[in-house]
A and B are shown apart, each in its own frame.
Chain A
Amino acid sequence: MDEIIYMNIESSPSFLLFIFFGTVTVITALSVIFQKNPVVSAVSLVFTFFALAGIYGIMGALFIATMQVLVYAGAIMVLVVFVLMLLSQRAETLSRYREYPIRLVILSVFIFGFFFLLYSALTTGVPHSEQTGKGYELSQYSFPIQGTAAVNAKGNVATVGASTYLDYLLPFEMISILLLVAVLGAVILAKKRNTEVEQTKDTIL
């Protein structure tokens, strides 16, 4: 086990990518909880989610990596940042970066390199035609439907989909009902009461 780990550190690009994305994950997660400005925390959290998507890509879970970017880094963070903008009463502090152009350039280079490495991590999990695909090799899925032959799914997305709709159909439907109830509850909770409408008609909240 130890010899294998030493060999990995010397030779494997997957392992180096894992070290990079793990470091970025820990640093940005610490930044989330130690930054004073909540908007900076939210941006750090976006980078945590992107780095975790990179780790999923290295491990070959491409569907999860895509969902991580779409759902967490996209939808949930838009919701959080929108609520922060509604609630924030702090002074604007981001424009300080115009006074430090070197810091801005370094930050831009870092972000560009980060997304290039994210692209590398995602393509690490994608199979090439001449070698055994890393996203494919563990993903064979077969489920015997009653009285028929087994369903064979190849590839990460098809396998996760087959597992969702064959093994986990009832939890899937329950999740849809849960989301419906959550959306209705959010609308009811955030709605203004009738008595407040006249007082706060021309303010945002």
Chain B
Amino acid sequence: MNPIINEIPVSYILGLAGILFSIGVLGVLIRRNIVIIFMSVELILNSVNLVFVTFSKALSHISGETVVFFVMAIAAAEAAVGLALVIAIFRHKKSTNVDELQSMRW
């Protein structure tokens, strides 16, 4: 395993990915607006992508970058379905605050 990618130490990039993941988890925990929770999930997925690319370069194996492509496709599908759900919920509850969504029945 190559510990330095283009003169950047691997540990620095992994640290950045860890910070980004922590920020995403914090956003999911502290925010109540459901669209911002979706944005935090996108941050988490992006930190995972960063780890995939880093190890793909460090191990000189291309599979990591291919998997990133799949992660992006799944994130797009998740955003489409999730935001459609947000619109459907907003039409019934007139709110995007997750604290007010306490029942599964409409």
Q: State which size class the interface on B falls in.
A: 35 or more
Interface positions of B from 79 to 102, Cβ below 8 Å from A: 79-81, 83-88, 90-91, 96
Q: Which 10 A-B pairs have the closest CB atoms?
A: A33-B27, A182-B77, A186-B84, A189-B84, A190-B84, A12-B7, A186-B80, A29-B23, A163-B66, A83-B83
Chain A residues closer than 8 Å to B42, beta-carbon distance: 45, 72, 76
Q: Report the stretch among A58-66, A91-99, A111-119, A144-152 that lies at the interface.
A: A58-66
- Which partner residue on chain A sits nearest B46 by CB separation? A52
Q: Is the CB of B62 within 8 A of A33?
A: no
**Is B87 within 8 A of A205, CB to CB?**
yes
28 A-B pairs in the complex with CB atoms less than 8 angstroms apart: A8-B8, A14-B8, A15-B7, A18-B8, A25-B20, A26-B20, A26-B23, A29-B20, A29-B24, A33-B26, A38-B35, A55-B16, A58-B6, A59-B5, A61-B57, A61-B68, A71-B75, A72-B46, A80-B39, A80-B83, A84-B35, A139-B62, A156-B65, A163-B65, A181-B77, A186-B80, A205-B90, A205-B91
Q: Is the CB of A189 within 8 A of B88?
A: yes
Q: Is the interface of B mostly helix, strand, loop or mixed?
A: helix
- What's the Cα separation between A168 and B65 when bound, in Å? 12
CB neighbours (8 Å) of B60 from chain A are 138
Instruction: Name which of B8, B38, B77 has the most chain A CB atoms within 10 A of its CB.
Output: B8
Chain B hits for A178, CB < 8 A: 73-74, 77
Indicate if the CB atoms of A55 and B50 lie closer than 8 Å: yes
Which B1-39 residues sit within 8 Å CB-CB of chain A?
Answer: 3-9, 12-13, 16, 19-20, 23-24, 26-27, 30-31, 33, 35-36, 38-39
* Across-interface contacts of A68 in B (CB, < 8 A): 49, 72
Q: Check B49–A64 contact: CB distance below 8 A.
A: yes
Residues in A with CB closer than 8 Å to B33 are 38
Q: How far is the CB of B52 from chain A (nearest CB, A)?
A: 9
In the complex, are the beta carbons of B6 and A60 less than 8 A apart? yes
A72 in contact with B13 (CB, 8 Å) = no
Task: State the CA gap A164–B20 with chains docked (Å).
Answer: 27
On chain B, the residues within 8 Å of A87 by CB distance are 35, 86-87, 90, 96
The residue from B56, B70, B76 contacting A75, defined by CB atoms under 8 A apart: B76
